[in-house]
Amino acid sequence: MKFTAEQIAGILDGEVVGNPNAEVYKLAKIEEGTDGSLTFLANPKYNNYIYSTQATITIVNKSFVSEQEVKTTLIKVEDAYQAFSKLLEYYNQIKLMKSGIEQPSVISDGVTYGSDLYLGSFCYVGQNVQIGENVKIYPNSFIGDNVVIGDNCVLFAGVRIYSETIIGNNVTIHSGTIIGSDGFGFAPQEDGTFKKVPQIGNVIIEDNVEVGSCSTIDRATLGSTIIRKGVKLDNQIQIAHNVEIGENTVIASQTGIAGSTKVGKNCMIGGQVGIVGHITIGDNVKIQAQSGIAKSLKEGEVVQGSPAYNYSDFSKSFVHFRNLPKIVNELEELKKSNK
């Protein structure tokens, strides 16, 4: 799909400097721009590229003043970075404007769905599933019985949604993710074996949540595993049974949260963090990457390490750790001088 500079300026409320009929059909970084591409310049460090870029159109700040002739058509806006982000969002919406049911697909009895549904080929939708308006479900996805999916959701290829899961509005789930699989519940027996504890709860994902690829959110043993509004989960994250993640919390990849732990609102959790079960993480907590959380954390704490402790104390301790060889040498010299 092609767009002219004039059309793009209309979307961004910008001003065209150059050819209003210049056409683009792809996006590029300014240093890699080619004919037919659209790019942007927001950081002054990249100013020199605007004189050499082959991009057809470049979005710039209104404050930008050219020091020499530029070949690219300019679109001047208040904030080039925000404008380009808006354009990316618009571009992504166009890409997702699919509708219709591809074959082969299976839609079981009692399924209801709203307008503009897209169901890719080789999808299975179980009994009594409710699907809202403008939902996009890409090929090879599985939707179990009695699942509820709200409006404007996107499930990319190969997503698995187990039975009884409830998904709110404006939720995006990326490829390979599994929602609602059994929690890790096994009861030790007298003979040393482990007997599976049936997992009969469900998963609730509230509005405006995004879940990355190849992540797993387990169903509750009883009740619900809950992902609150606005949560953003990276790739390869494990959320165990009966966990609750508070609103607007963000979690980076390869983090695992054990069963029944409660994470507060607006927390930031780095990659490869391990959190034990049955504890509480307060609101606005920040956990640095590769930390091990073995006890509850109070609101606003910032921690690092394994076992994790106060970030400021950790940083000071690490300075001493790095200086240990020097300290040991100094002690050895003192021993020698005292002999």
160 dihedral zone (left: phi>0; alpha: psi -120 to 50; beta): beta
Question: pLDDT, tens digit, for every residue of 54-69?
Answer: 999 999 999 998 888 9
Amino acid (one-letter) located at 160: R
**Is 339's pLDDT higher than 70?**
no
Question: pLDDT, tens digit, for every residue of 115-155?
Answer: 999 999 999 999 999 999 999 999 999 999 999 999 999 99
Q: What is the CATH number of domain 3-96?
A: 3.40.1390.10
Q: For the whole model, what pTM was predicted?
A: 0.81
Burial 199-231 (b: 16+ CB within 10 A, else e): bebbbbbbbbbbbbbebbbbbbbeebbbbbbbb
The topology under which CATH files domain 100-303 is UDP N-Acetylglucosamine Acyltransferase; domain 1 (2.160.10)
Question: pLDDT, tens digit, for every residue of 272-319?
Answer: 999 999 999 999 999 999 999 999 999 999 999 876 657 677 777 777
Active site amino acids: 241
Average pLDDT over residues 19-35: 94
Tokens representing 203 are: 């998963």
Question: pLDDT, tens digit, for every residue of 129-139?
Answer: 999 999 999 99
Domain boundaries, the chain: 3-96, 100-303, 311-338
